[in-house]
């Protein structure tokens, strides 16, 4: 995905990552002409139809991936422009409703698929995050955005005044992020950041 000259985003699939499947119609016609009974001709016809079905299925799969990725990029436009602070909460259901597909289809399409963006190469699943309430009643925050703020606060903390998880909750509320202490603890541990007791010992 890259910025389009006329504004918005331009998306394209990486052709090197797609299977290349073609039918050799000349070969099929030649072999079919040599078939000397109905069963052989029927077999050839069935095999050609099967090959054509596979090609159409692969083409449909590629179009589905592009359609889903395009909607994700549309929904996460501000993140792509301005960074992690603007990553919005998003679930499979949101994309499924927007593109008219089942959630299970969206899940399959986004599993083990990666997209090269101005923010780095990211798994499509990266864009799906839970929602954290905004204390001001404005737009909710993405859980990944909240994790970013927690890490930012800890990185900037005074070695003599290391933030406890309760203190982090208060600092986040200053940014209109309403989050429970257990959630802060969970996110901190997911990022591999030790407790305030251990950090105080490390920084001293």
Q: How far apart are CA 35 and CA 57, in angstroms?
A: 28
Residue 45 has pLDDT above 90, yes or no: no
pLDDT value at residue 97:
96
Could you give the count of Cα atoms lying within 13 Å of 33 in the half-sphere of its Cβ?
6
The whole-model pTM stands at 0.81
Burial class (CB in 10 A: 0-12, 13-18, 19+), 75: middle
Q: What is the pLDDT of residues 126-169, one digit of tens each?
A: 999 988 877 655 568 999 999 999 999 999 999 989 999 999 99
- Answer for the pair 146, 177: CB distance below 8 angstroms, yes or no: yes
pLDDT value at residue 135:
63
pLDDT value at residue 106:
96
Residue 39 has pLDDT above 90, yes or no: no
pLDDT value at residue 93:
95
């Amino acid at each position: 995905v890259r910025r389009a000259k006329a504004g918005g985003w331009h998306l394209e699939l990486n052709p090197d990552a797609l299977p290349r499947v073609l039918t050799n119609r000349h070969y099929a016609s030649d072999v079919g002409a040599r078939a000397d009974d109905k069963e052989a001709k029927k077999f050839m016809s069935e095999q050609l139809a099967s090959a054509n079905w596979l090609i159409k299925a692969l083409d449909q799969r590629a179009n589905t991936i592009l359609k889903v990725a395009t909607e994700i990029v549309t929904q996460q436009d501000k993140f792509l422009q301005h960074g992690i602070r603007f990553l919005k909460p998003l679930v499979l259901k949101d994309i499924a409703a927007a593109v008219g597909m089942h959630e299970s289809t969206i899940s399959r399409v986004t599993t083990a698929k990666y997209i090269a963006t101005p923010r780095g190469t990211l798994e499509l699943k990266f864009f799906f995050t839970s929602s954290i309430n905004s204390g001001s009643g404005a737009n909710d925050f993405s859980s990944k955005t909240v994790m970013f703020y927690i890490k930012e606060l800890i990185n900037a903390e005074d070695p003599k005044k290391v933030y406890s998880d309760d203190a982090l909750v208060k600092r986040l509320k200053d940014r209109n992020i309403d989050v429970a202490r257990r959630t802060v603890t969970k996110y901190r541990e997911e990022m591999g950041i030790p407790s305030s007791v251990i950090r105080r010992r490390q920084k001293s």
